[in-house]
Amino acid sequence: MKKNAYLVQAGCLYGNTYYLPYAVGMLIAFSLNDKRVADNYDFKRIIYSLEDIDESINSLEEPAFVGFSNSIWNYSYNLEYAQKLKQRYPECIIEFGGHHVPPTTEFLEKYDFIDILIHRKGEEAFRDVLIALNTNGSLADIPNISYRRTDGSIHQTPEVKVTLSDYPSPYLTGVFDEILKNTEYHFSCVLETNRGCPYGCCYCDWGELNSKVRLFPLEKVFAELDWMAEHKMEFVYCVDANFGMFERDEIIAQKLVDLKNTKGYPNRLQVSYAKNEIDRVFRINKMLADNGIGKGATLAMQSLEPAVLKNIGRVNISNEQYSKQITQYRKAGITTYTELILALPGETLDTFCKGLCEVLELGQHSSVSAYYCELLPNSLLARKDYMEKYGIKTVTTALNQYHCESMDDVLSGHSSIVVETKTMSCADWVRANEFSTCVQSMHHFGIMQCIAMYVRTQYDISYYDFYTALHKYIETESDFCRSVFEMASCVLNNFVNGRGGLTYQNDIFGKITYPLEEAVFLLCLYNSDKFYAEMKKFASAYIADDEFLDELIRYQRAVVLKPNENNNELDFNYNFKDYFDAVLRNEKIELNKENIRYKFSTPFETSDWIEYAKEIIWFGRRNGRMMYSNMPNKIDILPR
């Protein structure tokens, strides 16, 4: 009689969409390819959502084995589930694997209801554990695991690098067929064309450090893409560490385009691009953008401070190359976005804030995300000696999860966020976040972008000086804006004192959570009249001509999308569009008096603030949907 096995990869609901549980799907597909598993185990069900734990356990049929795939967003749920499961079924073997299983035996020592840990990537170890359990074989002979012996002692086997590059596909072998019968939800999926990363960034746990990249067979990749098109997958998340690193990645991108144009799916692709294959990555992005598939080009920097880059084991492209890339993408009509990480070892309040504004000086006006530095258990950053060397201190709180409904602590998981290092105090961390929130919400979401660009171009006042002054003005002289930023400051200060997370939720914008910079932008835009009345007072310190300032603010307001506003036609007395388009191309032209009429149009029409927050800010942040100056939005010149 076959043993009943279950796998748990509980994911968050994004709107009405779940990700198909790719990690456990790979485990099942690989294991069932071995007759010794197929003949002796029945994989009854995959728990892919955050089900009520008691009801879920009640639904299990005499489980002999339950495996949990652990990520930062579900491991707290998994721990609660596993503990209750062991109480109900003491003989059931409970195994934990995934990115959020530490490389040590720590979980076995802390949680007596866990029997086996799989470290790093686990298809081979997972299969071998099932075989050993069925035959009373020795777990000691299986590399990359830890387990509890019958006498209660704990043993960890040696780590061995895995070299296999051809795994059965969970899509093509029907692993997800039962899940897809659920028509209540939509599903997105994961695409993996290779595995591994040759780099060793300290904050990352993406594969084995400095590991050789294993390419999956191209015919398998193509077959999976055909499956995704056939099953009408709207969104595909490619989990390759460096897409564009290999010549064949261009062929894969072309396959996606062909499927979109012939089958209608997939509609969107998100990838992490290689940073050194500049020409190939540009061609891929252009291909995807021209066919409406891409989400914009990533130009990740993480930090602009040389000492920090050395500490984290990263080498960036030069600032000159970075600036040229932004201009190249802009001229091709492709939005770019840049990623920074706040509180990396060696970063100071001053270097972070200046680095954030240096990105603007280099021409990045479309999108910047300054991420919190999160401690991942399999990263170098999480090692005790590394943390001691750089004075790294963290705050652990409910998962810092955006764009989903708020959840209680059991369901949400937990995040460990770096809030202090030897070079950045906890108070500095709060100030850096406050400044970052100011720059991102005001500039990259666009509500002060034109004014900042004008002051920078006409008066040679750096973006750092401009936004430092604006931030000070908001804190000391404004009323409405100060109240908005006090909300953000309160969230940050509560967080470092162990109270609450780093998100904001307001029913005006729906039931989902937003990061602070998005929340500040939404609140300011929602109260546009109050906001721009205070911004006029601030800008008047730079622009003395009151009539011109009114005209500039009117244009500034016009270039930011709002709900129920499309196809507006407005008259202006200056060639604002040409002037600011030149700035976006890292060029400069004269701003001339000219009677001109602009038509502002967008394909992203939204009828209310909830739809706007979702479609424009959540879905559209990385490709700059909120600005008419970014494609496919348009500002057309009309006869006047």
Integer Cα distance of 500 and 516 in angstroms: 13
Give me the pLDDT at residue 12, please: 82
Of 108, 105, 98, which is closest to residue 70 (Cα–Cα)?
A: 98
Question: What stretch of H or E contains 118?
Answer: strand 116-118
Q: Are 70 and 96 in contact (CB under 8 A)?
A: yes
How many other β-carbons are positioned within 10 Å of the β-carbon of residue 637? Answer: 12
List own/partner pairs for 355-358 with CB under 8 A and 24 or more apart: 355/301, 355/303, 355/304, 355/305, 356/435, 356/436, 356/439, 357/439, 357/462, 357/463, 357/464, 357/467, 358/304, 358/319, 358/464
297-298 β-sheet, strand order: 297-298, 336-342, 368-372
Can you tell me the distance from the alpha carbon of 554 to that of 559, in angstroms, rounded to the nearest whole number? 9
Cα distance between residue 507 and residue 550, in whole Å: 33
Which letter does DSSP use for residue 4 in this model? E
Residues 432/492, Cβ–Cβ less than 8 Å: no
The confidence score (pLDDT) of residue 209 equals: 46
Residue 425's contacts (CB-CB under 8 Å, 6 or more residues apart) are none
Give the C-alpha separation, 339 to 368, whole Å: 6
* CA atoms of 635 and 168, how far apart (whole Å): 49
* pLDDT, position 210: 47
- Looking at residue 70, the DSSP 8-state letter turns out to be -
Question: Which amino acid belongs to residue 347?
Answer: E
49 DSSP β-pair partners: 11
Cα–Cα distances (Å) from 337 to 203, 325, 445, 639, in that order, read 20, 11, 12, 34
Residue whose token pair is 């998994």? 78
DSSP code of residue 139? G
* Cβ atoms of residues 288 and 257 within 8 Å: yes
Q: How far apart are CA 276 and CA 561, in angstroms?
A: 35
Would you list the DSSP string of 470-531? Answer: HHHHHHHT-SHHHHHHHHHHHHHHHHHTT-S-SEE--GGG-SB-EEHHHHHHHHHHHTHHHH
266: preceding bond cis by omega (within 30 degrees): yes
In one letter, which amino acid is 261?
N
Instruction: Walk along the chain (640 residues) in steps of 10 and give the mean pLDDT of each run.
Output: 96 86 97 97 95 96 96 89 97 95 93 94 94 94 94 92 89 96 94 89 69 90 98 94 95 97 93 88 93 82 92 88 89 88 96 96 92 89 93 83 62 79 97 97 96 97 98 97 97 91 92 94 98 98 97 97 88 96 92 95 93 91 87 85
Give the Cα separation of 176 and 519 in Å (integer).
36
**Predicted pLDDT of residue 413:** 62
Half-sphere exposure of 166 (CA within 13 A, CB side): 5
Q: Is 620 helix (H, G, I), strand (E, B) or coil?
A: coil
User: What is the amino acid identity at position 150?
Assistant: T
User: Which residues face 148 on adjacent strands?
Assistant: 154
Are 85 and 108 within 8 A, CB to CB? no
Per-residue pLDDT, 406: 61
Q: 149 — phi, psi (to 5°)?
A: -75, 165
Distance, in Å, from the CA atom of 20 to the CA atom of 25, rounded to the nearest integer, reads: 8
Beta-ladder partners of 236: 189, 269
Residue 383's closest CA among 196, 203, 212?
203
CA dihedral 528, 531, 536, 538 (to 10 degrees): -160
